[in-house]
Amino acid sequence: MKQALLTMLELQHRMNTRVHEDWINQNFEWYRAAWIECGELMDHYGYKWWKQQHPDMNQVRLEIIDIWHFGMSALFTPGADVEAVADTILEQLQGYQPSAADVRAATEALAEHCLASKSFSVAHFWDLMQAADLDFQQLYTAYVGKNVLNFFRQDHGYKDGSYQKQWQGREDNEHLVDLAAELDGEQPGYSDRLYAALEQRYRECCP
């Protein structure tokens, strides 16, 4: 689990560094982004008793992945490296007991903590994962995949419009799912190997 956390934290650090080289010392309000994502999650799950609604759990889980981006960012403090942040996460999970809250209650609890403390609670986030039937391996795979694909798109002309999102009639995220399934996500260097696999597939499909 720690190796997976280190991989995710390193990816998040690299992504945030693209926004600002010294992002950790900028005091960005990551907690605010997290609780606003909680509101977006609630829209996908449904809360309007006055009309018929059906939870879109795929979108709910995608919102949870987005919340994790901001949550990890909020856990970085000046002088702390990825190893220290990973240890902090593991410490917060020691003795963790699920609250058995449903998706709405778990989402509200996480948002409330973000607003009251201006920080991020790993335990409340884990409650939300449990409520949405999202386990750690699924979180890890989805998070790493999304980050690697985002970096790949940027590196291959996404910003100037030269990037081809369709590869031989299939979207790049479909190829991502195929390639991720062929790799062992628990091995060190998983994100680099996934990026390399995307690179090879892209060259084959879009010469």
Q: What is the largest CA-CA distance in the chain?
A: 53
Helix or strand run (H / E) with residue 59: helix 57-75
pLDDT in the model for residue 15: 87
pLDDT of 26 > 80? The answer is: yes
Q: Compute the average pLDDT of residues 142-162.
A: 86
Q: Does pTM surpass 0.95?
A: no
Instruction: Tokens for 47, please give them.
Output: 């809360």
Alpha-carbon distances, residue 177 vs 7, 93, 150, 183, 205 (angstroms): 18, 29, 14, 10, 16
Provide the CATH number for the domain formed by 2-134 in this structure: 1.10.4010.10
